Structure 1
Amino acid sequence: MEESFKKVAIEEAMEVDIKENCSKSTKTLDLLRRFLGVQQRRAEAYAKLRRGFTEYMVSGVDSAYQQLCSEITIEFNDCSKQVLEMESFFLNPDFCRDDLAHLLRAIQAQEKQKLHLTVTIQVLKKAGRPSERLVSHENCRFKKSLEHECVHVHEITEASGTEEAEADAEYDSALKEAIRGVQDAVTNINEHLEEVRYEIEALEDQ
């Protein structure tokens, strides 16, 4: 009689464990799917930022571009906030999935780097190469409506030519480095996202 009670108790305990594991798996799956949704939002925000910057480079209308940058900043901050919440869920003893929390944190770090370098690229492109920057005639003295004494006219010496070439080389190097940095961040993010997708598949198969 006692043996049958023990058997029932063990079976009930196993049933509770199975239900808890199923519940954890379902919640983990939901969180990872939500995370992929956040990544999709980030991708759309980047596409919007690229379009807006291209339009700005053509039109030169600064106000519309600044407004877009503000909107994109809010969007990215909201995405980061959501991912941090998911990360804290995974660190919770109920989940005990430090591996997934670490994965999300790694993606967050790469996303931060990607955004920083994307902004750097846009700032550099906005300024333009030193030798190709437009001259402002605000401080020039106008004699007649079509003639003015330009303060920018100076004799091109070997030294100033070298200085300009060095400034261009520095600019090109900074731009290349930022572009390469974005590409590296994207590669790392995609690799981590593959891990997230594998985890989703494994949980779906359970």
Structure 2
Amino acid sequence: MEDFERVVKISSASSEAMSVDNGGLEARKTLKLLRDFVNIQQRRARAYAHLKSGFADYMASGSDAAYQQLCSEITVEFNDCSKQVLEMESLFMSPEYGREDLAHLLRSVQIKEKQKLNLTATIQVLKKAGRPSERLVSHENCKFKEPMQHECVHVHEITEAAGTEEAEADAEYDNSLKGAINGVQDAVTAINEHLEEIRYEIAAIEAEE
């Protein structure tokens, strides 16, 4: 009888040890995915910095070809980041991980990142166009009579109605730009809050190791 009880205790202890080992393994796998996600967010931050500096160069030089090339490269980078995060979401949702809470957290970041990117593009489009009252006039359709003189088809009498229309266009432009900028700021705030939750999760897992 004592031998039987000894076997049961050994078997029970072995099962507990296996359970602890499996739990530790799952925690380490979760930790790796979360760290990988943080690295992806750092890639996104570098891409935004690159896009910002490239747009500043474009505004200064007017080199449209270089800017379009940059936009293509940034699009590829963001698409790759999104693809990897989607794979992480799927893993967290699977029975192997069973962490739907983390999957939903990553999904929330993805949604805000998409909003941030779309609004950033809107801001750059608006800044490229400029305020309606400050846009340069193209003279390609004007009639040149002498080398230093030409008849400008854009010259028109400034009326009260025209001035009101221009002011309204400027106001609409300013509101659109302000709305996009505020939208980006709100998205960044939400993303940072979600990242803080992920960092807490990483710290909790590390503390248990």
**Short-chain TM bin:** over 0.9
Check if 1:193 corresponds to 2:199. Answer: no
Check if 1:38 corresponds to 2:33. Answer: no
Which one of 126, 129, 136 corresponds to residue 127 of structure 1?
129
Which one of 80, 83, 97 corresponds to residue 82 of structure 2?
80
Shift of 1:9: 1.6
TM-score by length of 1: 0.99
2:34 aligned partner, one-letter code: L
Check if 1:138 corresponds to 2:162. Answer: no
- 3-state SS in 2 of match to 1:155: coil
Backbone CA RMSD of aligned residues: 0.6
1:73 aligned partner, one-letter code: T
Q: In 2, Cα distance between the equivalents of 1:146 and 1:19?
A: 85
Shift of 1:2: 2.2
Shift of 1:3: 1.9
Shift of 1:60: 0.4
- For residue 52 of structure 1, what is the aligned residue in structure 2? 54
Q: In 1, Cα distance between the equivalents of 2:201 and 2:59?
A: 42
2:180 aligned partner, one-letter code: A
- For residue 178 of structure 2, what is the aligned residue in structure 1? 176
Shift of 1:146: 1.0
Single out whichever of 23-32 and 9-18 deviates more from structure 2.
9-18
- 3-state SS in 1 of match to 2:138: coil
Q: In 2, Cα distance between the equivalents of 1:99 and 1:7?
A: 36
Which one of 197, 202, 205 corresponds to residue 203 of structure 1?
205
Q: In 2, Cα distance between the equivalents of 1:179 and 1:5?
A: 69
Shift of 1:27: 0.5
Q: How does 1:59-74 map to 2 (within 5 A)?
A: 59-74=61-76
Q: In 1, Cα distance between the equivalents of 2:73 and 2:117?
A: 14
Residue correspondences, number: 206
1:46 aligned partner, one-letter code: Y
2:101 aligned partner, one-letter code: D
Shift of 1:4: 1.9
Q: For each residue in 1:107-143, what CA deviation from the matched residue of structure 2 results, as whole angstroms up to 9, or x when unmatched?
A: 0000000000000000000000000000000111111
Q: In 2, Cα distance between the equivalents of 1:122 and 1:83?
A: 26
Check if 1:92 corresponds to 2:119. Answer: no
TM-score by length of 2: 0.97
Q: In 2, Cα distance between the equivalents of 1:103 and 1:111?
A: 12
Shift of 1:8: 1.6
Check if 1:148 corresponds to 2:150. Answer: yes
- Residue segments in structure 1 that go unaligned for 5+ positions in a row: none
Which one of 152, 161, 167 corresponds to residue 165 of structure 1?
167
Q: In 1, Cα distance between the equivalents of 2:119 and 2:203?
A: 33
Shift of 1:5: 1.9
Q: In 2, Cα distance between the equivalents of 1:137 and 1:143?
A: 13
1:84 aligned partner, one-letter code: L
- Percent identity among equivalent residues? 67
